[in-house]
Amino acid sequence: MDEASVIAARLGGVPDARALLEGLFFHAPVAFHLYAADGRSLVVNPAFRALFGTEPPPGYNVLHDDMVARMGLAEQIRRAFAGETVRLPTQWYNPRDLTQVDTRAAKRIALQTTFFPLFDRAGNLSHVGVTVHDVTFEEDLKSAYEEHRRKEHDLGLALKAGRMVTVDSDLENGRVHSSENARDVLGLPPDVPLETQADWMALFHPDDRKKTESEMAAAPDGVPKLDRVFRIILPHTGETRWIERRGQLTLHTGGGRGRWVRGVIMDVTERVRLEEALRATEDQLRQSQKMEAIGRLAGGIAHDFNNLLSVVLSYSDMLLSASVVSEPHASDLREIQGAAERAANLTRALLAFSRQQVLEPTVLDLNDVVHRMDKMLRRVIGEDIELRWTAEPALGRVRIDPGQIEQVLMNLAVNARDAMPAGGKLLLETANIELDAGYAQTHVGVTPGPHVMLAVTDTGAGMSKEVQAKIFEPFFTTKGLGKGTGLGLSTVFGIVRQSGGHIWVYSEPGQGTTFKLYFPRTDQPPEVKSRVGAALGSLRGSETLLLVEDDEQLRVVSRTILDKNGYRVIAAGSPADALDHCVREPGPIHLMITDVVMPGMNGLQLATQAAKVRPAMKVLYVSGYTNNTIVHHGVLDEGVAFLQKPITPDALLRKVREVLDAAMPAVVA
Ligand SMILES: Nc1ncnc2c1ncn2[C@@H]1O[C@H](COP(=O)(O)OP(=O)(O)OP(=O)(O)O)[C@@H](O)[C@H]1O
Ligand SMILES: [Mg+2]
């Protein structure tokens, strides 16, 4: 039995089957459209009219419809009229296009249209039926879903690119759901659970855990701060990572399930480290600017003091050596002299700190210096302190003033001794170190390249951060009154910096201290400079000297010293005066002794001018101070005769004799 017969049999009991079928056609909530086999529209049902707001015009033939052709549907519709069931692809229509009525408010609708053939009993196509479904809602849903998928994908990409993890915590039951990349981003192995709030809390740095717990306890709703930065500790490596979290509290009311915190977390360890490094360099910069300012102040003071001390020292020396003062006044005078000498040592330390000492660097091996000082160092530190030395055998060479580096080692050793009153170890270490660009970036003033390191470590009391911040400042001491002057490390600092090196301190209270000194490595061969002047016979002489000094007291005392020792002295209070003498003096002038820093013209400029008039005249510079005229970055120009202030009669006379007797060029410009 075919389907038609079944329907006929089923409907056999229905008195008016035709009315029933008409009822189906007219009342079914599906839009129907019936066509004749030749394409003419026959009838539509009310649902069709409701959907389109109109019905096909009289005489409408779908096979001749231009719009159908324009929409590219002609072929499919032709197939339907050839006896196939054809389901057209979903079409978006604006009802206005169909009705030609301007229904502005009309919304585009998505339609799904199916053409199905109807055959007569003989099997010939008699009609074509059409159903039209409004699938706008489904289509909207579908595109909303696609949009959602796309956004989710984008979000996924963004999370991945930003190395962000989404974390949703259910505040009711403590469960946590995190995105798949959590372990990857945080660097956690698979066996660390991340399912509950307790699992996460277990990873927190103890301090941050305590803070979070107390915050949660204090908050009225038990919700911790949503935006925060905290540390976690990776359980398998012990490494600390910095995590930033941003969250939002979501409340589900009514049928929902309570409160959630949803948000993202990201690993900001790199950022935090960079910020820390930046802060450290800023601190260093501030520190070095401060040292610079103190240095200028100290240098200025030392300069003026040098002139005053030269006067005091010279007069007390002259009085004592002339034996015109008898006891007990002579010993009072010796007290004055002793105090002035101590003051001279202080100014020397200040000059060292302000990097205005005159250095005489030579190329040397630091191991040789340490070796040479071994005995002296042992004597200084005493028997309760063990001295150990780890020397790099193929140590690079450095260019440094040997006397100054000895001073540096001595000051560091004395400090180490003071830090270990009950004994301990003093370790000296030398090594070749390559300071790279990364190091230079985080250490102000460092030029990357090969360096030689000298490290001095003690096992003593160590220092707090606060003390470390001040140790290089002149007069900073933690030692009692009269025990320390606080100039040891400022001298070290000045010498190291003036030699182009760097010094860093590493210390913890109770853990000892390490000072690391870095000096740029040089490839020049080592040199041996004889620093001992020729043995001098008498300090007296009869030559003519031109003395140029703007400080009157100092000029007077220097003149007296030289006068008394047989010299003929022409004194000038200014460079202009001096040049005048050069021109007008009828006889020879053997030597000009000139201050370096003077108003109007410096010593070198004066010497250059004077050489034009008196090319044979020798020059001796006297200064407490190096201001880059004859000394460049603290290094004396080759062949220049120089006397460091404060002067004493003995030093002045010796130097004058040395220069007069030496076969040296008159002027070095
Ligand atoms: N090795 C060290 N261990 C612990 N603290 C130190 C060490 N070296 C220096 N210090 C601290 O730094 C301070 C300054 O040292 P510095 O050498 O400049 O002055 P001083 O030793 O106090 O006096 P001075 O060296 O002039 O006699 C010291 O007072 C001490 O507090
Ligand atoms: Mg000291």
How far is Cα of residue 511 from the mean position of the Cα atoms in its chain? 28
Q: What residue numbers bound the domain in which 247 lies?
A: 162-267
Residue 590 lies in a domain: yes
Q: Is the CB of 413 under 6 A from ligand 1?
A: no
Q: Is the CB of 500 under 6 A from ligand 1?
A: no
The pLDDT tens digits of the residues spanning 65-79 come to: 888 888 889 999 999
How far is Cα of residue 214 from the mean position of the Cα atoms in its chain? 33
CATH number at residue 232: 3.30.450.20
| Strand-pair partners of 131 | 32, 114
48 with 98: CB under 8 angstroms?
A: no
What atom of ligand 1 comes closest to residue 485's alpha carbon?
26
Q: Is the CB of 349 under 6 A from ligand 1?
A: no
Q: Is the CB of 166 under 6 A from ligand 1?
A: no
What atom of ligand 1 comes closest to residue 416's alpha carbon?
1
Q: Is the CB of 487 under 6 A from ligand 1?
A: yes
What atom of ligand 1 comes closest to residue 491's alpha carbon?
18
590 and 515 in one domain? no
Distance (angstroms) between ligand 1 centre and the Cα of 409 equals 13
Residue 168 lies in a domain: yes
Strand boundaries in 331-423, DSSP class E: 362-364, 385-390, 397-400
Distance (angstroms) between ligand 2 centre and the Cα of 297 equals 21
**In the listed set 522, 555, 574, which residue is the last one of a domain according to the structure?**
522
CATH number at residue 335: 1.10.287
What span, in angstroms and rounded, lies between the C-alpha atoms of 593 and 377? 39
Question: What values do phi and psi take at 109, rounded to 5?
Answer: -125, 150
Q: Is the CB of 17 under 6 A from ligand 1?
A: no
Q: How many C-beta atoms lie closer than 10 Å to residue 299's C-beta?
A: 23
Total count of domains within the chain = 5
Q: Is the CB of 477 under 6 A from ligand 1?
A: yes
Q: Compute the Cα dihedral for 646, 649, 651, 655 and give only its sign.
A: positive
573 and 626 in one domain? yes
Q: Residue 649, preceding bond cis, omega within 30 degrees?
A: no
Distance (angstroms) between ligand 1 centre and the Cα of 428 equals 18
pLDDT number for residue 253:
60
Question: Beta strand 631-632 with 642-644: parallel, antiparallel or unpaired?
Answer: unpaired
What span, in angstroms and rounded, lies between the C-alpha atoms of 583 and 340? 39
pLDDT number for residue 51:
86
> Which residue carries 């013209």 as its tokens?
601
How far is Cα of residue 640 from the mean position of the Cα atoms in its chain? 44
264: left (phi over 0), alpha (psi -120 to 50) or beta: beta
Q: Is the CB of 468 under 6 A from ligand 1?
A: no
Q: Which amino acid is at 658?
A: E
578 and 624 in one domain? yes
366 and 348 in one domain? no
566 with 572: CB under 8 angstroms?
A: no
Residue 467: pLDDT above 60?
yes
The pLDDT tens digits of the residues spanning 162-182 come to: 888 989 888 888 899 998 888
Q: Is the CB of 463 under 6 A from ligand 1?
A: yes
Question: Beta strand 513-522 with 449-458: parallel, antiparallel or unpaired?
Answer: antiparallel
Ligand with the closest atom to the CA of 493: 1
Q: Between the ranges 34-38, 276-280, 309-313, 315-319, where is the mean pLDDT highest? A: 34-38
What span, in angstroms and rounded, lies between the C-alpha atoms of 392 and 131? 96
Residue 534 lies in a domain: no
Give residue 633's pLDDT band: very low, low, confident or very high (50, 70, 90): low
Q: How many C-beta atoms lie closer than 10 Å to residue 593's C-beta?
A: 28
CATH number at residue 500: 3.30.565.10
What atom of ligand 1 comes closest to residue 515's alpha carbon?
1
What span, in angstroms and rounded, lies between the C-alpha atoms of 627 and 6? 121
Strand ranges of the sheet holding 228-233, from the earlier edge strand across to the other edge: 176-178, 164-170, 258-267, 240-252, 228-233
643 and 573 in one domain? yes
What span, in angstroms and rounded, lies between the C-alpha atoms of 12 and 15? 8
Burial state string for 280-296 with b = 16 or more CB within 10 A and e = fewer than 16: eeeeeeeeeeebeebbe
What span, in angstroms and rounded, lies between the C-alpha atoms of 109 and 51? 10
Residue 668: pLDDT above 50?
no
**In the listed set 211, 244, 267, which residue is the last one of a domain according to the structure?**
267
**In the listed set 330, 353, 376, which residue is the last one of a domain according to the structure?**
353
Distance (angstroms) between ligand 1 centre and the Cα of 414 equals 8
Residue 518: pLDDT above 90?
yes
Residue 237 lies in a domain: yes
Ligand 1 pocket: which of 348, 471, 490 to mutate (most atoms within 8 A of CB): 471
449: left (phi over 0), alpha (psi -120 to 50) or beta: left
201 and 343 in one domain? no
What span, in angstroms and rounded, lies between the C-alpha atoms of 351 and 491? 8
Q: Is the CB of 464 under 6 A from ligand 1?
A: no
566 and 494 in one domain? no
Residue 356: pLDDT above 80?
no
Strand boundaries in 549-600, DSSP class E: 568-572, 591-595
381 with 417: CB under 8 angstroms?
A: yes
Distance (angstroms) between ligand 1 centre and the Cα of 467 equals 9
Share of the chain above pLDDT 70, in %: 92
414 Cβ neighbours under 8 A, 6+ residues apart: 380, 488
Ligand 1 pocket: which of 489, 490, 492 to mutate (most atoms within 8 A of CB): 489
605 and 622 in one domain? yes
449 with 435: CB under 8 angstroms?
A: yes
Distance (angstroms) between ligand 1 centre and the Cα of 407 equals 15
Residue 666 lies in a domain: no
313 and 294 in one domain? yes
Distance (angstroms) between ligand 1 centre and the Cα of 411 equals 9
Ligand 1 atom 28: the closest Cα is on which residue? 477
445 and 566 in one domain? no
Q: Which amino acid is at 623?
A: S
Residue 154 lies in a domain: no
Q: Is the CB of 467 under 6 A from ligand 1?
A: yes
| Strand-pair partners of 263 | 167, 247
80 with 86: CB under 8 angstroms?
A: yes
Residue 531: pLDDT above 50?
no
Distance (angstroms) between ligand 1 centre and the Cα of 283 equals 21
297 and 215 in one domain? no
Q: Compute the Cα dihedral for 319, 325, 330, 333 and give only its sign.
A: negative
Residue 532: pLDDT above 90?
no
Distance (angstroms) between ligand 1 centre and the Cα of 460 equals 12
Which DSSP symbol is given to 515?
E
Residue 112: pLDDT above 80?
yes
Question: What integer best gives the mean pLDDT of the chain?
Answer: 86
Q: Is the CB of 489 under 6 A from ligand 1?
A: yes
Task: Flag the least confident range among 119-128, 263-272, 632-641.
Answer: 632-641
Ligand 1 atom 4: the closest Cα is on which residue? 462
Residue 148 lies in a domain: no
What span, in angstroms and rounded, lies between the C-alpha atoms of 134 and 333? 120
Question: What values do phi and psi take at 552, rounded to 5?
Answer: -65, -45
301 Cβ neighbours under 8 A, 6+ residues apart: 347, 350
361 Cβ neighbours under 8 A, 6+ residues apart: 399, 400, 401, 499, 635
pLDDT number for residue 5:
73
Tokens of 538: 């008498």
pLDDT number for residue 22:
86
Question: What values do phi and psi take at 206, rounded to 5?
Answer: -50, -45
352 with 494: CB under 8 angstroms?
A: yes
Residue 98: pLDDT above 80?
no
SS3 337: helix
Ligand with the closest atom to the CA of 474: 1
Residue 92 lies in a domain: yes
Give residue 530's pLDDT band: very low, low, confident or very high (50, 70, 90): very low
Length of the chain: 669
559 and 620 in one domain? yes
- Residue 555 host element (H or E): helix 552-564
What span, in angstroms and rounded, lies between the C-alpha atoms of 634 and 608? 21
Tokens of 309: 């001390």
Nearest to 625 by CA among 615, 614, 616, 634: 634
Question: Beta strand 385-390 with 41-44: parallel, antiparallel or unpaired?
Answer: unpaired
Task: Flag the least confident range among 357-371, 458-472, 496-510.
Answer: 357-371
Ligand 1 pocket: which of 291, 294, 411, 415 to mutate (most atoms within 8 A of CB): 415
What span, in angstroms and rounded, lies between the C-alpha atoms of 200 and 209? 10
Q: HSE (CB half, 13 Å, CA atoms) of 81?
A: 17
